[in-house]
Amino acid sequence: MTILWHLILLNDVLSISKSTLMQNHTELNAKNVAFNIKKIREHKNYTQIYLAKRLAISQNAYSKIELGYSKITINRLFAIAQI
Protein backbone atom coordinates (compact mmCIF):
# COMPACT_ATOMS: atom_id res chain seq x y z
CA MET A 1 0.00 0.00 0.00
CA THR A 2 1.08 3.51 -0.63
CA ILE A 3 1.64 6.11 2.05
CA LEU A 4 -1.41 8.01 0.78
CA TRP A 5 -3.58 4.92 1.24
CA HIS A 6 -2.30 4.50 4.81
CA LEU A 7 -3.07 8.13 5.58
CA ILE A 8 -6.60 7.74 4.23
CA LEU A 9 -7.16 4.64 6.37
CA LEU A 10 -5.69 6.35 9.42
CA ASN A 11 -7.95 9.36 8.86
CA ASP A 12 -10.99 7.05 8.70
CA VAL A 13 -9.98 5.34 11.94
CA LEU A 14 -9.43 8.69 13.66
CA SER A 15 -12.80 9.97 12.44
CA ILE A 16 -14.55 6.95 13.89
CA SER A 17 -12.66 7.34 17.14
CA LYS A 18 -13.58 11.03 17.40
CA SER A 19 -17.27 10.36 16.85
CA THR A 20 -17.19 7.49 19.35
CA LEU A 21 -15.47 9.70 21.90
CA MET A 22 -18.02 12.46 21.40
CA GLN A 23 -20.88 10.00 21.82
CA ASN A 24 -19.30 8.55 24.96
CA HIS A 25 -18.72 12.08 26.32
CA THR A 26 -22.36 13.01 25.70
CA GLU A 27 -23.57 9.83 27.40
CA LEU A 28 -21.28 10.50 30.34
CA ASN A 29 -22.63 14.03 30.69
CA ALA A 30 -26.20 12.71 30.60
CA LYS A 31 -25.35 10.22 33.34
CA ASN A 32 -23.81 13.04 35.41
CA VAL A 33 -26.98 15.12 35.05
CA ALA A 34 -29.12 12.15 36.09
CA PHE A 35 -26.84 11.48 39.07
CA ASN A 36 -27.01 15.14 40.14
CA ILE A 37 -30.81 15.19 39.87
CA LYS A 38 -30.95 12.20 42.22
CA LYS A 39 -28.48 13.67 44.71
CA ILE A 40 -30.32 17.01 44.86
CA ARG A 41 -33.66 15.20 45.33
CA GLU A 42 -32.19 13.18 48.16
CA HIS A 43 -30.66 16.31 49.72
CA LYS A 44 -34.11 17.95 49.72
CA ASN A 45 -35.59 14.78 51.24
CA TYR A 46 -38.04 14.46 48.34
CA THR A 47 -39.25 11.06 47.20
CA GLN A 48 -39.42 9.96 43.60
CA ILE A 49 -43.19 9.71 44.01
CA TYR A 50 -43.39 13.35 45.12
CA LEU A 51 -41.38 14.63 42.17
CA ALA A 52 -43.22 12.36 39.74
CA LYS A 53 -46.56 13.76 40.92
CA ARG A 54 -45.31 17.34 40.61
CA LEU A 55 -44.10 16.59 37.07
CA ALA A 56 -47.32 14.71 36.20
CA ILE A 57 -45.45 11.53 35.28
CA SER A 58 -45.31 8.07 36.80
CA GLN A 59 -42.78 7.17 39.47
CA ASN A 60 -41.35 4.63 37.03
CA ALA A 61 -40.81 7.34 34.40
CA TYR A 62 -39.14 9.56 36.98
CA SER A 63 -36.91 6.70 38.09
CA LYS A 64 -35.74 6.25 34.51
CA ILE A 65 -34.72 9.92 34.44
CA GLU A 66 -32.57 9.48 37.55
CA LEU A 67 -31.03 6.29 36.21
CA GLY A 68 -30.24 7.97 32.89
CA TYR A 69 -32.37 5.47 30.96
CA SER A 70 -34.55 8.13 29.37
CA LYS A 71 -33.39 11.26 27.64
CA ILE A 72 -34.38 14.41 29.46
CA THR A 73 -35.54 17.50 27.63
CA ILE A 74 -34.49 21.00 28.59
CA ASN A 75 -38.10 21.75 29.52
CA ARG A 76 -38.23 18.73 31.83
CA LEU A 77 -34.88 19.69 33.36
CA PHE A 78 -36.18 23.20 34.08
CA ALA A 79 -39.38 21.76 35.56
CA ILE A 80 -37.36 19.55 37.91
CA ALA A 81 -35.13 22.48 38.87
CA GLN A 82 -38.14 24.62 39.80
CA ILE A 83 -39.51 22.08 42.29
pLDDT band at 25 (very low <50, low <70, confident <90, very high): low
What is the predicted pLDDT for the residue at 56? 97
What is the predicted pLDDT for the residue at 2? 61
Torsions phi, psi for 54 (to 5 deg): -65, -30
More confident: 32 or 12: 32
The three-state DSSP-derived secondary structure of 1-12 is: CCHHHHHHHHHH
pTM of the model: 0.70
The answer, yes or no, to whether residue 48 has pLDDT greater than 80, is yes
What is the predicted pLDDT for the residue at 72? 87
Within 13 Å and on the Cβ side, how many CA atoms surround 5?
2
Q: What stretch of H or E contains 14?
A: helix 3-43
User: In the predicted model, what is the mean pLDDT of the chain?
Assistant: 81
